[in-house]
Amino acid sequence: MDMQTQWGSCSPEGAVLLNPHLVKAPTKAIDYVILHELCHLEEHNHSPRFYGLLDRFMPEWRVVKARLDSKAEQFLVHAETLS
């Protein structure tokens, strides 16, 4: 699914969708996005319990997310200019 502002999403029914441009990101960042969306299967919001799940399975997620966010424009802008 082509997403302009997010790396992934999880529907209330449990369908996980990923931004196709995520493949340009480092493997650890891809793992983070997948984990983030899988945590939404258990906790459908960004509550403390949700972040507790992220901490449990990827203690360094904040650093990984910050690196991904810092590269977002690089990964997404090139895709838009090619369209």
Residue 16 lies in a domain: yes
pLDDT digits (tens, 9 = 90+) for 46-76: 999 999 999 999 999 999 999 999 988 887 7
Residue 3 lies in a domain: no
Residue 66 lies in a domain: yes
Average pLDDT over residues 27-35: 97
Residue 58 lies in a domain: yes
Q: What total of structural domains would you count in the chain?
A: 1
Give the three-class secondary structure for 2.
Answer: coil
The packing angle between helices 27-42 and 48-57, to 10°, is 140
Residue 78 lies in a domain: yes
Give the residue numbers spanning the domain of 72.
8-82
Residue 2 lies in a domain: no
DSSP-derived secondary structure letter, 3: -
**Which residues in 1-83 belong to E strands, given as ranges?**
8-10, 16-18
CA distance 52 to 3: 26
